């Protein structure tokens, strides 16, 4: 037993030390080697009127997630996203049901192949991906990076891994703190966006179990460094919440079976049980968000202004 305990301790320490080494220069590695090849913004739309932008998306960034094994709804959502020709796509995690099964990744890759050809595609590590080699292979991750940050236009994106230690004292927590602090001090950063799989707040079924830990550890950091908006998945629904000056968006409707509201959160503003995706338009002094269901009907819109 003692030998087994020592072995497990060694593996845990090794993984953590390994992760901090890669996290120190995560941004550099993301740009240089994680997503190699040219970014192809196939078309940049211009908005004539912000409020009338139902079929246009300026410097378009799309966010969606939780696709797993419901392939037909996923295909439908991907087709709608592709039609908008986004520059960048973020997936909020749980791309497949079992990250260890290669055949599930083969189907996922087939569905998003066209999208990934024309748009850069950034994953958020979900609980269904597992720490599986397939995940790192599919996304060309160098050195098994699962948290990283990048800048697009005037937005700093911090992508957190809620499936490995993120709480105070962990290597990832220190990296998040340093990353947010640096971004908040940069003249190039106008908006700060965070993505992670498990929501800090949610009216869905995971809200009561997972969210209190995540929000207790991370919300003070987000509030301190001026994060504008936090995206997550995990609950299979769309929800907009607003708390202490930050929008919290749950976007887990990329195809996985949908959830009813479990218990309405006090900060909830809107909840939709539908497959959907979200577009982020980058305007001069504001970010404009629109959410569309699987019939491409707009179900929500809101803006973040500086
Ligand atoms: Fe999940």
> What architecture does CATH give domain 56-305?
4-Layer Sandwich (3.60)
Name 303's bridge partners: 288
CA 38 / ligand 1 centre spacing (Å): 31
| CA within 13 Å, CB half, 64 | 35
CA 19 / ligand 1 centre spacing (Å): 22
Q: What average pLDDT does range 181-204 have in this prediction?
A: 97
Asked if pLDDT for residue 234 goes beyond 50, the answer is yes
Angle formed at CA 145 by CA 38 and CA 167, multiple of 5 degrees: 135
What pLDDT is stored for residue 3 in this prediction? 56
C-beta separation of 251 from 233 below 8 A = yes
CA 125 / ligand 1 centre spacing (Å): 9
pTM score, whole prediction: 0.83
Q: Which of 14-18, 25-29, 168-172 has the lowest mean pLDDT?
A: 25-29
Residue 5 confidence class, pLDDT cut points 50, 70, 90: very low
What pLDDT is stored for residue 56 in this prediction? 66
Name the phi and psi angles at 18, rounded to 5.
-60, -40
**Distance from C-alpha of 101 to C-alpha of 85, rounded to nearest angstrom:** 30
What pLDDT is stored for residue 23 in this prediction? 37
What pLDDT is stored for residue 124 in this prediction? 96
pLDDT digits (tens, 9 = 90+) for 124-180: 999 999 888 899 999 988 778 789 999 999 999 999 999 999 999 999 999 999 999
Q: What average pLDDT does range 246-267 have in this prediction?
A: 95
Asked if pLDDT for residue 30 goes beyond 80, the answer is no
What pLDDT is stored for residue 210 in this prediction? 80
Cβ-count burial of 157 within 10 angstroms (0-12 exposed, 13-18 middle, 19+ buried)?
buried
CA 286 / ligand 1 centre spacing (Å): 30
Q: What average pLDDT does range 190-212 have in this prediction?
A: 94
Asked if pLDDT for residue 236 goes beyond 70, the answer is yes
Residue 208 confidence class, pLDDT cut points 50, 70, 90: confident
Q: What average pLDDT does range 277-287 have in this prediction?
A: 91
Average pLDDT, the chain: 84
Domain boundaries, the chain: 56-305
Q: What average pLDDT does range 42-59 have in this prediction?
A: 45
**Distance from C-alpha of 109 to C-alpha of 214, rounded to nearest angstrom:** 30
Tokens of 35: 């997503």
pLDDT digits (tens, 9 = 90+) for 83-114: 999 999 999 999 999 999 999 999 999 999 99
CA 209 / ligand 1 centre spacing (Å): 12
Surrounding residues of ion ligand 1, Cβ less than 5 A: 94, 126-127, 234
Report in angstroms the alpha-carbon separations of 218 from 26, 66, 146, 162, 249.
20, 22, 17, 10, 15
CA 123 / ligand 1 centre spacing (Å): 13
Asked if pLDDT for residue 268 goes beyond 90, the answer is yes
CA 206 / ligand 1 centre spacing (Å): 9
**Distance from C-alpha of 278 to C-alpha of 298, rounded to nearest angstrom:** 10
* Percentage of the residues of the chain whose pLDDT score is greater than 90: 73
């Amino acid at each position: 037993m003692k030998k087994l305990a020592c072995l497990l301790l060694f593996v845990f320490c090794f993984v953590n030390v390994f992760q901090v080494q890669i996290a120190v220069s995560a941004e550099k590695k993301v740009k240089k080697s994680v997503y190699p090849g040219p970014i192809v913004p196939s078309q940049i739309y211009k908005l004539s009127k912000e409020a009338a932008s139902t079929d246009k998306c300026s410097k378009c960034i799309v966010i969606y997630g939780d696709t797993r094994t419901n392939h037909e709804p996923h295909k439908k959502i991907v087709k709608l996203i592709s039609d908008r020709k986004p520059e960048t796509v973020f997936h909020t995690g749980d791309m497949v049901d079992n990250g260890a099964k290669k055949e599930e990744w083969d189907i996922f890759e087939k569905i998003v192949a066209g999208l990934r050809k024309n748009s850069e595609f950034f994953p958020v590590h979900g609980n269904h991906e597992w720490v599986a080699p397939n995940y790192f292979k599919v996304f060309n991750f160098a050195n098994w990076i699962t948290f990283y940050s990048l800048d697009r236009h005037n937005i700093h994106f911090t992508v957190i891994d809620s499936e490995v230690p993120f709480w105070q004292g962990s290597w990832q927590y220190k990296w998040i703190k340093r990353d947010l602090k640096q971004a908040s001090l940069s003249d190039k950063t106008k908006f700060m966006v965070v993505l992670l799989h498990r929501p800090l707040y949610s009216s869905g079924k995971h809200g009561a179990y997972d969210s209190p830990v995540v929000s207790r550890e991370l919300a003070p950091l987000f509030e301190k460094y001026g994060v504008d908006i936090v995206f997550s998945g995990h609950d299979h629904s769309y929800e907009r919440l607003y708390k202490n000056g930050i929008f919290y968006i749950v976007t887990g409707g990329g195809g996985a079976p949908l959830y009813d509201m479990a218990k309405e959160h006090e900060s909830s503003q809107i909840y939709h049980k539908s497959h959907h995706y979200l577009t982020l338009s980058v305007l001069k002094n504001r970010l404009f968000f629109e959410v569309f269901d699987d019939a491409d009907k707009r179900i929500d819109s809101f803006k973040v202004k500086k």
